[in-house]
Amino acid sequence: MSTRRGDSVFTRSNNRHAPERVGLDRPFRIALPSFREQGLVAARVGRQQDRGFIVITEGGDRAAELAGRDRSLAVAVGDWVALRGGLIEAVLPRRSKVSRKAAGAETLEQIVAANVDTLFLVSSLDREFNVRRIERYVTLAWESGASPVVLLNKADLCDDVDARVAEAERVAVGLPVHAVSATEQRGLDVVRAHLGDGRTVAFIGSSGVGKSALVNALLGTARQDTGPVREDDARGRHTTTMRELFVVPGGGLVIDTPGMRELQLWADAEDLGLAFPEIAEAAARCRYRDCTHAHEPSCGVRGTVDERRLASFLKLRAEIGSLELRRAQKERMKKRGRRPEIRERLEEWE
């Protein structure tokens, strides 16, 4: 049953928040004096919309857009920006960013959220539970710079929660894994423990896993629409359509994101090694320096790690390798500037 969408904290012009409450910590405060000397104001991006952004300032919330329509300036929800009037002139350095490859054939980074302290990787304990998908999200999370935590939502729909948690722990090596239920308000203390004044958490996951229901539970009201799960395939309706930041009563901020129907990685080999530490460790002992771990005899990895984990590792390694190759090719084309029209198109991509 869908809930009625309430007012976002970014739609009321009389909202006033102390900068510390919305995440203006020491690194950002250090960067601010040079902006203030130029008559700029610090603002945090709360929502992206068709014609610009809604941002939080100490004096209240306001609409903003890029100065000079600078398409090369990547702005994401959670960013701290330098504002002059209603124009965004600069993005302050990020302490973390959650990125994926944008959908489509072009090699573009899509920043999902910025300046996140804790990144909740949300999966569900219904028929959509999938450890291979969790591995993919864990790899993305290590690239972000945020602290990842795995949340298994919809514990009320699972007959053997402990077994599912154990499965998730085997593929999310070293990460906290918690079973929760947004509908029954069960286990949410582990989520609230990551909140507090100035701290930002974000939820990412596939459509229908209950991210918006978790956000509503934390906010104590139905701010985000939630949709039913179809009985034929256990998939939820894609109800969240934009990334949005909310101030949580009692302290902290939460970023909700649309469900990812297709998660294409924006990561590198180091992130993959962090997501599959047992394979990285075994590879370091392998007798072949350039072993692919796919077919070489006496490989130090094959036969010593879980075969399903190895198959997933090899698949993700191939995907990341292809991404790195395309990124390198794009950079070479930019430097060469073979034809003006190609150069202009690449500048637009950036």
Q: Which residues does residue 254 pair with via DSSP β-bridges, in sequence order?
A: 201, 246
What is the rounded CA–CA span in Å between residue 209 and residue 214?
Answer: 10
Mean pLDDT rounded to a whole number for the chain = 82
Say which residue the tokens 């999370």 belong to: 141
Going by pLDDT thresholds of 50, 70 and 90, the confidence category of residue 28 is low
pLDDT greater at residue 126 or residue 3: 126
Residues 161-172 have a mean pLDDT of 97
pLDDT exceeds 60 at position 8: no
To the nearest 10°, report the CA torsion of 24, 30, 31, 35: 90
Q: What pLDDT score does 11 carry?
A: 34
Domain extents in the chain:
19-91, 97-256, 269-349
**Nearest-angstrom CA–CA distance, 275 and 142:** 7
Res 70: pLDDT: 57
Q: Can you tell me which residue has the tokens 């928040």? A: 17
Beta-sheet pairing, 109-114 with 97-101: antiparallel
- pLDDT reading at 311 higher than 70: yes
One-letter-per-residue 3-state SS of 134-187? HHHHHHHHHHHCCEEEEEEECHHHCCCHHHHHHHHHHHCCCCCEEECECCCCEC
Beta strands in 206-265 (DSSP E): 244-247, 253-256
Q: Among all chains, which residue has been given the structure tokens 């959670």?
A: 78
For the beta carbon of residue 223, count every other beta carbon within 10 angstroms: 20
Bridge partners (DSSP) of residue 152 are 123, 179
Question: Other CB atoms closer than 10 Å to residue 164's CB: what's the count?
Answer: 20
Q: For residues 177 and 259, which has the higher predicted lDDT (pLDDT)?
A: 177
Do 19-91 and 97-256 agree at the fold level? no
How confident is the model at residue 104, as a pLDDT?
A: 78
Over the Cα atoms of the chain, what is R_g?
22
Q: Looking at 16-20, 45-49, 69-73, 224-228, which range is the least confident one?
A: 224-228
Mean pLDDT (whole number) for 301-312: 94
Q: Which residues of 8-17 are buried (b: 16+ CB within 10 A; e: fewer)?
A: bbbeeeebeb
Nearest in space to 121 (alpha carbons), one of 51, 50, 171: 171
Q: Specify the higher pLDDT residue, 119 or 108.
A: 119
Does the domain at residues 97-256 carry the CATH identifier 3.20.20.140?
no
Please state, in angstroms and rounded to a whole number, the distance separating the CA atoms of residues 222 and 178.
23
pLDDT at 41 (0 to 100):
86
Lowest-pLDDT range, 90-99, 191-200, 333-342?
333-342
Dihedral sign computed on CA atoms, order 318, 143, 124, 10: negative
First to last CA, the chain: 41
Nearby residues of 233 by Cβ (< 8 Å), 6 or more positions away: 127
Residue 300: pLDDT above 60? yes
Q: Is 140 exposed, middle or buried (0-12, 13-18, 19+ CB in 10 A)?
A: buried
**Residue 344: is its pLDDT beyond 80?**
no
**111 contacts 195 by C-beta, under 8 angstroms:** no
Please state which CATH class domain 19-91 belongs to.
Answer: mainly beta
Q: What is the mean pLDDT of residues 38-44?
A: 87
The pLDDT assigned to 27 comes to 61
- At 13, is the pLDDT very low, low, confident or very high (cuts 50, 70, 90)? very low
pLDDT in the model for residue 7: 33
pLDDT digits (tens, 9 = 90+) for 47-82: 988 778 999 887 788 999 998 765 567 899 999 998
What pLDDT, on the 0 to 100 scale, is given for residue 5? Answer: 35
